[in-house]
A and B are shown apart, each in its own frame.
Chain A
């Protein structure tokens, strides 16, 4: 191994990488917020006893759980614009792909979380005279969300990693910026090593948090 490591380009092009980091964080944050928000509704729809409501929701979840995210992102970038009235740039396509994927997964987390609360909790709340909304808000969700937090944090970790897929449609996130620099500076080895380190520094605290939460959950149950 007599390869001479040379990280000077990383320093030179640091501002370019920083833009990439910023875009990675923006993409992940937007998709996480939108995904968790709409996931609640899809999860509720899957929980519904009305077939007209739960079948489309189930179909949606199955489609997005059972196709690769990379394919979804490519599809939204290349195929979706043909049928869509709105302009689809790289950010929109990546956001659509990653958000809908997050919606599908988080709806399952919501559904499983709510279903994990025993029937007795609903009954006790109901017997006190609470309406359905009050039962949900005061008794069921506070308990269910506690159980969901580790799963959601895990999802956030996955999401940050998946943003790198947006590089294939030239969205200027970390991976794409690194690729660009490596072509200019002929140093893919150092660039991708740096990207790996940056992702690690970004994600490791989240993973640590998941482990902590799961340990806490195990203790409390």
Chain B
């Protein structure tokens, strides 16, 4: 563990993104410290996925600054706008892990090759190092025994855990989860959330977009609620999820709480 718990990993300043006339992100400010797990909530269209995708420039922000480990991404032009060359964006992305809703494993590679691909092609690690990482991170997500399987032979939950291992194999500074469980059958959601929880406990810095409120409540250090491209409310899970202040947050939580089971008897 780092001695300095307050090391800032990521900083977003005045982040803006618009698609044509549509302003999707409006002045987002966020500081993420090392080891922090942040869950981003919001209604559909609130900009939460776009915010995540701006962090590793899957979407290029329209304005504002993104600072990873004290280094600002891109070069400043004379008129204040920024240009981003492919090299520096690739470099940034290699330090930011991303897990997608639809897993996006490479179907022409085995599980192990999927995990080794980033270290090999991007980080130019040698064979032994690639193998070491593949074993380490597949074991971490509990799928070492599936190393030689093809992605199509795995369940959705297993595929997503491989996708997590693939991102971890880059040994990133921060992990982004973009609705990582939304495409899964309900009975497979648990294993993926469990893996994410374990990562959080091990001190990985994570930004998570999800609809799993129970997970947010249990695992998050901080919950953000996005509405119309702004961070409307943020704080500890208790504060945002149990005692929300804003009307939009309350409405959102009401929409999620309509049907609830009493405690099931699982003995």
Contacts and interface: CB of A to CB of B under 8 A. Distances in A.
Interface string A162-187: 00000000000000000000000000
B122 A128 contact: yes
B94 interface: yes
Interface in B86-122: 86-87, 90-98, 100, 102, 104-108, 117-118, 121-122
Determine the main DSSP class of A at the interface with B: helix
Nearest to A122: B104
Interface residues of B, number: 28
Nearest to A128: B118
A134 B100 CA distance: 20
Contact of A129 (B90, B104, B105, B106): B90
Given A120-B102, A121-B106, A127 B58 contact: yes
B104 A130 contact: no
Interface in B23-58: 56, 58
A146 B108 contact: yes
Interface in A119-133: 120-121, 123-132
A124 B94 contact: no
Contacts of A146: 108
A143 interface: yes
A214 to B, nearest CB: 18
Contact of B93 (A118, A129, A142): A129
B166 interface: yes
Interface residues on A, range: 10 to 19
Most chain B CB atoms below 10 A, which of A125, A128, A139, A142: A128
Given A129-B93, A129-B170, A131-B90, A124 B104 contact: yes
A129 B122 contact: yes
Interface string A100-120: 000000000000000000101
A124 to B, nearest CB: 4
B189 to A, nearest CB: 20
Given A121-B106, A127-B167, 11 more contacts: A121-B104, A124-B100, A125-B106, A126-B93, A127-B93, A129-B91, A130-B121, A132-B86, A142-B108, A143-B108, A146-B108
7 closest residue pairs by CB, A with B = A129-B94, A124-B104, A120-B104, A128-B118, A127-B98, A129-B93, A129-B122
Interface of A: 118, 120-121, 123-132, 134, 138-139, 142-143, 146
13 contacts: A120-B104, A121-B106, A123-B100, A123-B104, A124-B105, A124-B163, A126-B58, A127-B96, A128-B93, A130-B90, A130-B121, A138-B117, A139-B106
